[in-house]
Amino acid sequence: MNLRHAAALALVGWYLMVPPLDSANMTQVNAGALLSEWHSMKSYSSKKDCEKERDEKRAAGARGLHSPSQTKRVMATALSSAQCVASDDPRLKEK
């Protein structure tokens, strides 16, 4: 790997992204939405840190899937679809 390539990799950050709500049914998550429509929960300097947080959020969310609270169930569903995405991913710019 050359120095320029290493420098470019060092500039890439990571976003923990969750899908938006379905516009027709605000109690449903639209995991099929374009990635540019997803919401960034937090940013990370490494993919490893992002994936660790994603896994923790998914585990916490799984406990909410059977909650009597509809809000908690929707959030749990969104967290189950969470993804770590590189800040330079071209899908973030699609519209």
User: pLDDT, tens digit, for every residue of 2-16?
Assistant: 445 444 455 789 999
Name the phi and psi angles at 41, rounded to 5.
Answer: -85, -40
In a domain, 81, yes or no: yes
Single pTM value for the model: 0.79
Q: How many CB atoms lie within 10 A of CB 37?
A: 15
The verdict on residue 71 lying in a domain is yes
Asked, for residue 95, whether it belongs to a domain, the answer is no
| Count of structural domains, the chain | 1
Per-residue confidence (pLDDT) for residue 10, from 0 to 100: 56
User: What SS3 state is found at 33?
Assistant: coil
CA torsion sign for 25, 28, 29, 33 is negative
Q: Which residue did the predictor score with more confidence, 78 or 7?
A: 78
Q: Is residue 35 in some structural domain?
A: yes
Question: What's the domain range around 33?
Answer: 3-89
